[in-house]
Amino acid sequence: MQTDSGRYLLWLAGAVFLVGLSTISSQNVTPVEFVYAGVLLAISIQAYISWSWKRSTRIPIWALVCAAHFIFYGMAIFGALRKSPSAFDHGSDLPDSVLTTAMLVGIAGLLSVGVGRMATMHILGSKTFGLSVLEMGARTPARIQTLLLLGIVANLFGVPFFGTVVWNISTIAFSSLPLAAFLWLVLVRRFRRLSQLDFFLAFVFLATRVISGARFNASLGTIVGPFLLMGVADVSLKRKLPWPMITVAACLIFFLQPGKTTLRHEMTRGEVGVGMTDAIVRWGQVSISGWDDVLEGRVPLDEQLSATSSRASLLAMTGLILEKTPETVPYQLGTSYPLLIKNLIPRVLWPDKPSVNVANQFFQVEYGLTDRQDLMSVSIACGFEAEGYMNFGWVGILGIGLLVGSVLAIYELAFFSRGSTLTAIAVGLALLPGFLTIESQLVQYLGGILQLAFAAAIVFHQAERERSSHGVQGAVETERSPSTVATR
């Protein structure tokens, strides 16, 4: 339980952090922008404090969603990216009034998500969804080890079937589900010793995942994601934030992000070797060189950090939509939202199914971000809240927020309630990055999550529950109250 001194320390740390951002930033942050950033940070801190007192769920999912909004709509105001991303504006800066309103979009969207979440939880009460999934026994099920092997192969050689109608299925089978299996072992190790085979598979999966993150398109999320999820997994058991893991992940992001663009350009030109570790070694070299320039004074710190801040900002995209809707681009009145239902139909059954990128492509072309002939190689999103404004104005922001909040509540109750099994928690953790990717548009945001949840329910399903009267399963059962044990 969070003590009074701990709460005060969090508030003090938040204030110091916000003032520190304002001090080191070279941007002319207005008082209103500073206050809005403070509001987003305060909502995040209060969400975590409320979770630490109530412990109604095993993981502070709501606090993490709030933190994502603070990063993309609050902390981003201290970054250097203030130019309009539209070619129609010829690189002109967005006015402070537009950026301020963009921050208000983030606040309004977050509050509406919170209202939708609270309303859904109130309606459902303390109901726990009975998910018939694998129980933890004395030995690791073969399907967990098989998934890890599939993940290792995909990490080394890439996800198969690229460019075919089964691409989404391949991504889930060879990337997302193996990640869930890895997280299952991370959780299980707290209750029993892993076998040598389990430990070997988990270690090789993590190592090859890091390598694949550099080797295939320099994906920083692929590298950092497993470490962050391992830290969040510990929260479900220890009930406190893993600050060492968070610190390591943050340092990796700030160290590697500035060199990512350079690495991708070199990979496109064929200047990076094709060996297993060539890309990650080169990424490290580029990053060290960039930070050396900062330490030697050849490159300003603000410029070095601009790459990181630009990737974690929705202000420019949101500001662009606010400026041009509906005067230049009329409200879309939800034309892309039916894709959310269509997206649930497997592409193998509907080869000509419209792509989820349709929503992105409209935004890219009509708002001047991408030429139509380049749409196959570039995908840019504006976030589901700005998309709500693009469709219905402020009413759209609130309506979409309520929908997302309802889905978020069901997700928390299904995977992180007090009666959840370790397998349910592991699957829920594999879904977590999707819920934190608030820069996605609605079809991508919810569609991908629903597909993965459906696939995980099939793969981790257990038709008959195998009860154990001793060992680690008994230890897990003692954490549940009789009223929250899922009925199978």
How does pLDDT run across 371-395, given as a tens digit for each residue? 888 887 788 889 999 999 999 999 9
Q: Tell me, what's the pLDDT at 472?
A: 40
Q: What is the mean pLDDT of the chain?
A: 83
CA distances from 208 to 140, 257, 281 (A): 21, 20, 14
Please state, in angstroms and rounded to a whole number, the distance separating the CA atoms of residues 421 and 130.
Answer: 10
3 state DSSP class of 461? strand
Q: Tell me, what's the pLDDT at 175?
A: 86
Q: Tell me, what's the pLDDT at 127?
A: 62
CA quadruple 405, 410, 415, 416: dihedral sign: positive
Q: Tell me, what's the pLDDT at 473?
A: 42
Q: Which residues contact 239 (CB under 8 A, 6 or more apart)?
A: 52, 55, 58
Please state, in angstroms and rounded to a whole number, the distance separating the CA atoms of residues 418 and 236.
Answer: 10
Q: Extract the residue ranges of the chain whose pLDDT is less than 50.
A: 163-165, 463-488
3 state DSSP class of 117? helix
Q: Tell me, what's the pLDDT at 203?
A: 95
- The pLDDT tens digits of the residues spanning 171-224 come to 788 888 999 999 999 999 888 888 999 999 999 999 999 999 888 877 888 888
**pTM (predicted TM-score):** 0.86
Q: Are 215 and 264 in contact (CB under 8 A)?
A: no
Q: Tell me, what's the pLDDT at 137?
A: 64
Please state, in angstroms and rounded to a whole number, the distance separating the CA atoms of residues 268 and 361.
Answer: 23
Neighbours of 39 (CB within 10 A): 19
Q: Tell me, what's the pLDDT at 62?
A: 95
